[in-house]
Structure 1
Amino acid sequence: MAMATPASSARDEIDRRFMAAAIRLSRRHLGLTGTNPSVGTLIVREESGGPIIVGSGVTAVGGRPHAEPQALYEAGERARGATAYVTLEPCAHHGRTPPCAEALVTAGVARVVGATSDPDPRVSGKGYAILRKAGIEVVEGVLAEGAADLMAGYLMRSSRKRPEVTVKLAVSRDGRIGIPGVGQVVITGEISRRQVHLMRAEADAILIGIGTALADDPELTCRLPGLEAHSPVRIVLDAHTRLPLDAKMVRHAREVPVWIAAAAGCDRNRRAALEGAGVQFLATEAANGGFALPELLEDLAARGISTLIAEGGAETVRRFLDEDLVDRVALFVGPGEIGPQGLLSPIRPDRMREGFRLTREARYGEDSYSEWVRKA
């Protein structure tokens, strides 16, 4: 095996540094780019003082324009001979605008450093092929795992035709998530709750069962200052349309969308009243005494939902786990105990389901956090 030269090692380090910056940039519009992924692009030029960023772009809200043309526009003529760092393979298919791969060729960049490949058959391998055919040096797979982690929803929807599902739970020190009949129980502190709001801001949709909706009357919005407009679509599994008209979600359904998954034979008057309040309905099928979750996820993907947070309750989370539909688990563990009257969590850090690997741990005040991802 050939040893890396000092020059190539230095360039590899520069590539990793700027790709890490592009990945951080791509996070800016998570959950806001419709059916397109949030991609980051940096145009970097070698000047007398070393490499500098002369252009940057992130997929626009709504999905257009893409990151590459924005970065190239900012760079202008300084893009010629520069290196483009892109977190996803540049698109290769024609729409209303030329493919991003062709835009990079026209701009005269000398190198393109990519993170992860695009599984979309219109793009997969074709974007890089356009670049190489034009004589542009292409380096693939730089920090691919980090880039893929942020756009896991898009990659999942493209390859498996369903959203990435994250189960989020707040668990007490003794493994409980609440008390039956009591309603919402405060388990974690303010810092953890702010982290949950950030998760919501970066997700396309959030889902709960009707039991949780009735017991807690949650809003399920993002309430971080400046990020209120980033709230996800709110979905309730409600076979018999029991969600009250005066529920917080329903009262604000025209500002932040609410979708109800209901049975075909649900009460027509109840449905009409909820629709009159701005609630939308999802056509769903029944299976094994509950909802046909795989089919529901396919329908959500068809509506452009790439990332879905399942927040509760215990039975809803258990159904997703039992049907092998969970891709990521986010567990917040508070310092207090609820006691034997509490409802046991279907998962907790010391009793994780098989097939998941621990990828992240953190402390938020007195709370601990752990994140688990499905093994490849």
Structure 2
Amino acid sequence: MAVNEAERRAMTRALSLATLGPRGVNPQVGAVLLSPDGTVLAEGWHHGAGTPHAEVDALSKLAPGAARGATAVVTLEPCNHTGRTGPCALALIDAGVARVVYALDDPGAVSGGGAERLRDAGVSVDAGEQADAAHAVISGWLTAQRLGRPHITVKWAQSLDGRAAAADGSSQWITGPSARADVHRRRAEADAIVVGTGTVLSDDPSLTARDGDALFADQPVPVVIGSRATPDDAAVRRHPRPPLFYDTRDLHAVVADLQARGIQSLFVEGGPTLASAFVSARLVDRVLAYIAPVLLGGDRLALTDIGVPSIGEARRLTVEEWLPLGSDLLAIASPSPDRPSADRPSPAGPREEGAA
């Protein structure tokens, strides 16, 4: 059965509702219930760990029996497991829902399979509506399910000749105001922002996400990696959220701990040494390279050694977009799918922390 216009509109609305939920160990999910004639009956979203999932949140706003014959439009496949809450697939079946339209399959080995359960109960199911948009909303969570770690963006700003700073170490500002505003917007979309102690000691960054002179409502958790001590009066210690400090060079251990803390997306902005370490460790899902039309020369490269001894072992990227920002250019790229990978996939677990 083809998705109709009312269901498409409902999916657009469900995607908007999903973003109202908190980012973290659970996916952001939205749901809209439609009557057989396409009228919106109820809406819901997941409010956080231990609370009803989006479908059940929407059903709770209706009187018993009011959802019989309805269509549930959901951004993620209804779950099929019992954790802190029961299976959403069963809740929809018990409510008498006749049709389910969802955007993305649930990748969880435990929580997936809701669509099959619905079909077995005679419910019409259609998958894939606005899947790309739904993927964008929960890309961090999906990466965590696939790899057992957060989605990692590595960002740097560089001159046209690939330098991150002038010979004396000065780098403010290589790029212009439009590029810097874009960086802050992307910071606000991340769960955590990561720098090394070298950046903290040399630049004393606040690691906040700013909208002009004001702070965005959503602030990333500041993370500092390195063995050198962060001064008591460092700007990062005045961040709205308590900073996390890691005295280690083991990036896999760092990202594993951040994952355990509910961090689903990292924004790495720590200078050439840290950026190169993440790239070398193959801990990068997206690269943001802000390129300014200036020449600096010298040896202060945007990336240092990343473990590429010959051209045949170059880290190949796929450019997703070239984005002009004032006089600067942003290259948005991701590692090519056929690249060798040191990532160790882990079986996807339940959609909910402590659900088992």
TM-score tier by shorter-chain length is 0.7 to 0.9
The residue number in structure 1 matching 2:318 is: 357
**SS at 2:269's partner residue?**
strand
The residue number in structure 2 matching 1:272 is: none
One of 150, 155, 161 as aligned partner of 2:142? 155
Shift of 1:327: 0.7
Shift of 1:75: 5.8
Show the 5 A alignment for 1:261-280.
261-262=246-247
What amino acid maps onto 1:72 in structure 2? Answer: L
**SS at 2:210's partner residue?**
coil
- 2:141–2:264 contact (8 Å) kept in structure 1: yes
Show the 5 A alignment for 1:1-376.
11=3, 15-16=7-8, 18-29=10-21, 32-47=22-37, 51-60=38-47, 64-74=51-61, 79-125=67-113, 127-179=114-166, 181-224=168-211, 228-240=216-228, 242-252=229-239, 255-262=240-247, 284=248, 291-334=249-292, 336-341=293-298, 343-346=300-303, 354-376=315-337
The alignment's TM-score, normalised by the length of structure 1, stands at 0.76
What amino acid maps onto 1:190 in structure 2? Answer: P
Shift of 1:110: 1.6
**SS at 2:252's partner residue?**
helix
Cα distance in 1 between the residues matched to 2:226 and 2:81: 40
Name the count of aligned residue pairs.
327
- 2:51–2:85 contact (8 Å) kept in structure 1: no
What amino acid maps onto 1:44 in structure 2? Answer: L
Shift of 1:165: 0.8
Cα distance in 1 between the residues matched to 2:31 and 2:106: 15
**SS at 1:346's partner residue?**
coil
Distance 1:210 1:23, change over 3 A: same
Percent of paired sites with the same residue: 39
Gaps of 5+ in 1: 1-7, 263-283, 285-290
What amino acid maps onto 1:37 in structure 2? Answer: P
- 2:67–2:96 contact (8 Å) kept in structure 1: yes
Cα distance in 2 between the residues matched to 1:15 and 1:375: 34
What amino acid maps onto 1:214 in structure 2? Answer: L
What amino acid maps onto 1:343 in structure 2? Answer: R
**SS at 2:35's partner residue?**
strand
Shift of 1:18: 4.1
- 1:310–1:317 contact (8 Å) kept in structure 2: yes
What amino acid maps onto 1:317 in structure 2? Answer: A
Cα distance in 2 between the residues matched to 1:142 and 1:72: 21
Cα distance in 2 between the residues matched to 1:355 and 1:15: 40
The alignment's TM-score, normalised by the length of structure 2, stands at 0.80
Cα distance in 1 between the residues matched to 2:112 and 2:258: 24
Shift of 1:181: 4.7
Shift of 1:313: 0.8
Distance 1:362 1:90, change over 3 A: same
Distance 1:184 1:248, change over 3 A: farther
Shift of 1:78: 5.6
- 1:42–1:57 contact (8 Å) kept in structure 2: yes
**SS at 1:94's partner residue?**
coil
Cα distance in 2 between the residues matched to 1:360 and 1:17: 27
